[in-house]
Amino acid sequence: MFFFGKRNVLPGFRRTFGFTVLYLSLIVLIPLSGVVWNTLGMSWLDFWETVTSDRVIASFKVSFLCALVAAFLNLVFGFIVAWALERYSFWGKRFFDNLIDLPFALPTAVAGIALTALYAPNGWIGRFFEPFDIQIAYTQIGITIALMFIGLPFVVRTVQPIIQELDKEVEEAAVILGASRLRTFFRVIFPQLIPALLTGFALAFARGVGEYGSVVFISGNMPFKTEIAPLLIMTKLEQYDYAGATAIALVMLIISFAILLLINIIQAKSNKTSL
């Protein structure tokens, strides 16, 4: 009797793994190592003075805080949008479903100009807030709105397939057993959505931290107030301060990686709990 191993359509493990390592090295590892390499040209004192200057710290706060708030808001409203698109039938559903992907196709600079025109004090939307002395454009509120715009599709498209796969019979059984709608949602539906929600949150946050095009117009670029870290990096590059630019980029990379790692750990624990 002869035993044959399973035949894979793609080449064996060594070839596919080697191609994976090569591809990731060329696209991800080598560029990131270039950031570290350029930073090594600085002394530790120069590096510390650069990344801890008041202007840099202020830009970090603006970038990470606005990205965090935008990702959280997208987490809430993105779930509602995904739920409405999957659970209800209404006129124009396909149009709204396709509209979700618009931030993927629209150039970010165009989005930034459009949002600035809408939320400026004399814009179509901003003019309604002007009498109440509420300014949206050129503030951190405007930055958060821009990051919500470019981050919403990540949450919706991540959660949608999970909602589609939810077994409605389980929900009906919970209702038959006397569970209220709120209890059914938090005890039956929500635990199955947690991994997808965390993934969408992480993707939206990661995109928001490094976003430049859609933010640079609506932020106003005021140091210590609305200046984002990517803009400060571009400013240093224009001044030929490559070491300073890569130092800021390295700190952003470390902080972003740490936050994403924490989210992935929480997501892994959620997957084990749901199983």
Residues 167-182 have a mean pLDDT of: 78
In this prediction the pTM is 0.85
pLDDT higher at 220 or 81: 81
DSSP structure class, residue 28:
I
* Nearest Cα to Cα of residue 147 among 56, 237, 223, 230: 230
Instruction: Return d(Cα 123, Cα 220) in angstroms, integer.
Output: 15
Instruction: Return d(Cα 106, Cα 214) in angstroms, integer.
Output: 10
Residues in the chain: 275
* Nearest Cα to Cα of residue 251 among 115, 5, 59: 59
Instruction: Return d(Cα 255, Cα 215) in angstroms, integer.
Output: 20
pLDDT higher at 175 or 141: 141
Which tokens in the block code for residue 226? Answer: 């609305």
Which residues, at least 6 apart from 173, have a Cβ–Cβ distance to it below 8 Å?
A: none
Where along the chain do its domains lie? 11-40, 44-274
Instruction: Return d(Cα 112, Cα 27) in angstroms, integer.
Output: 27
> What local confidence, expressed as pLDDT, does residue 169 receive?
79
pLDDT digits (tens, 9 = 90+) for 95-131: 999 999 988 888 888 989 999 999 998 989 999 998 8
Which tokens in the block code for residue 79? Answer: 């779930």
pLDDT digits (tens, 9 = 90+) for 259-269: 888 887 877 77
Q: What are phi and psi of 264, to 5 degrees?
A: -65, -35
> Does the CA dihedral 249-255-259-260 come out positive or negative?
positive
Number of CB atoms found within 10 A of residue 193's CB: 21
Number of CB atoms found within 10 A of residue 143's CB: 31
Instruction: Return d(Cα 265, Cα 262) in angstroms, integer.
Output: 5
Instruction: Return d(Cα 141, Cα 219) in angstroms, integer.
Output: 9
> What local confidence, expressed as pLDDT, does residue 1 receive?
45
Instruction: Return d(Cα 189, Cα 185) in angstroms, integer.
Output: 5
> What local confidence, expressed as pLDDT, does residue 227 receive?
93
Instruction: Return d(Cα 248, Cα 236) in angstroms, integer.
Output: 10
Residues 193-209 have a mean pLDDT of: 91
Structurally, what CATH architecture does the domain formed by 44-274 represent? Orthogonal Bundle (1.10)
Which tokens in the block code for residue 39? Answer: 């930073």
